[in-house]
Structure 1
């Protein structure tokens, strides 16, 4: 539920203002003014190395911006929120998480481990039927309940990616961050991951997507944030920004954008 300030105004889930992240004396990201409302969806789009991952790390508190008298990053109006509150609110799924799945464990154990922040069931901690029921429910909601007893190492790449979503969903986060979720997937895997994002958006959760490709942006995501050269290049409705001219300027190559039934695609404009 959205929070309000003393004047009755809705407090954004995130607010970033005049935030600069500097490494080795070089600014790797500057964000002038950005806010995300509770339940709002946004896609971050841009070239490799533009600063998209750093932007997400600002939200997750993995990186800190330069100090300002007015705190640059607020979470629900708080400059110094408790990290456990931030982690409880956010669920994160990325293609790199897939590399950590190198153990022969049943899927239900992988998902249940999400309650404890472990890959699989935690040692020296009792796991009850309620915990397993939550994991089973997460799998059911994503349409993969039939995988519960499978060895996770026997699954396809797309199936593992959806299991990792269930592992985050088991904690009931209000925000799901998808960082390049379709990297390495075949068309079937992409279809199911994109369908999963649509399902979560329909439940009222905020979906934050990081991608290179407009094809990953599900129709429920109506806003795009374009990042280029460590700056916010543009921020607005996708219908206004996912155009041939804007995409060509963003990626510095001639591109043609197209739309069909709320889905967008890019192709090269070859002479």
Structure 2
């Protein structure tokens, strides 16, 4: 690549949505007029059930596609045309539902190595090299589960297994981690470790896109919120401006109060 081209691409946002509309059974389920995600930006996507959060994430990961328009509805680093392999190399995904998809007994390190092949485990036709195994160990060490490498994934606590999935998403060294409800199903100890893992990732230079229902999951390093409601962007802006009683009450349509302590926020219902 020429130096001028490289300099130009470096200035491009990671993602741009312009008039991106997703339709299911003839009905629009998500409509994004304008959204930009910059390189190394940390954001949280917050909204009630049915607000379009999952579809929004699938637009980012290219699991769903918007309606075709003359003006490209999605640009990835300034380009309309991008290979799925480029998206997968750039973005790692962790979802709480992945745990339920692991139905066989495997050493945790095999689950992590599966991230190199887009699988939850290593299939017979996939070869794990010494270098790949070293990558997996480094990712597990970063998440604080390196000592669990040979443990059966089915014998780990939910929180430990979730951190193994973080390592799986990291094993190919992506620029961005998309975390879809990463604290769902965890006890307070597990939530603490997952939130600390998110902070570890941002300290390591990874960009975080966190999808959640709860402000409690939003680590201090996340400075921007995208609020979704009824399949559209309800608000997009600085965390401090949007995490207010009035905005959360309007978003969830129940009386809510926001509390702040040590850089974290919590949501309290008014009864």
Alignment of 1:48-63 (within 5 A): 48-63=49-64
Counterpart of 2:117? 116
- Identify unmatched segments of 5+ residues in structure 2: 1-5
The residue that corresponds to 1:44 in the other structure is: 45
In the alignment, structure 1 residue 149 sits paired with structure 2 residue 150:
yes
Query: Partners in 2 of 1:211 and 1:4 — Cα distance?
Result: 35
Q: Distance in 2 between matches of 1:88 and 1:94?
A: 17
Q: Give the Å deviation of 1:51.
A: 0.4
* Alpha-carbon distance, 1:115 to partner: 1.2
- Secondary structure in 1 matching 2:78: coil
Indicate the SS of the match to 2:220: coil
1:26 shift after superposition: 1.6
> What's the counterpart of residue 263 of structure 2?
262
Matches within 5 A, 1:84-233: 84-233=85-234
TM-score by length of 2: 0.95
1:5 counterpart SS class: helix
| CA distance in 1 between partners of 2:259 and 2:48 (Å) | 19
- Any idea what SS the aligned residue of 1:19 has? strand
Once residues 244 and 83 of structure 2 are traced to their aligned partners in structure 1, the CA distance between those partners, rounded to angstroms, is 40
The TM-score normalised by the length of structure 1 is 0.95
Q: CA RMSD in A?
A: 1.4
1:83 is aligned to 2:87: no
Count of residue pairs the alignment pairs up: 267
SS of structure 1 residue aligned to 2:36 = strand
Contact 1:47/1:250 (CA < 8 Å) preserved in 2?
Answer: yes
Task: For structure 1, list consecutive stretches of 5 or more residues without a partner in the other structure.
Answer: none
2:128 is paired with a residue whose SS is coil
Tell me by how many angstroms 1:4 deviates: 4.5
Q: CA deviation at 1:194?
A: 0.8
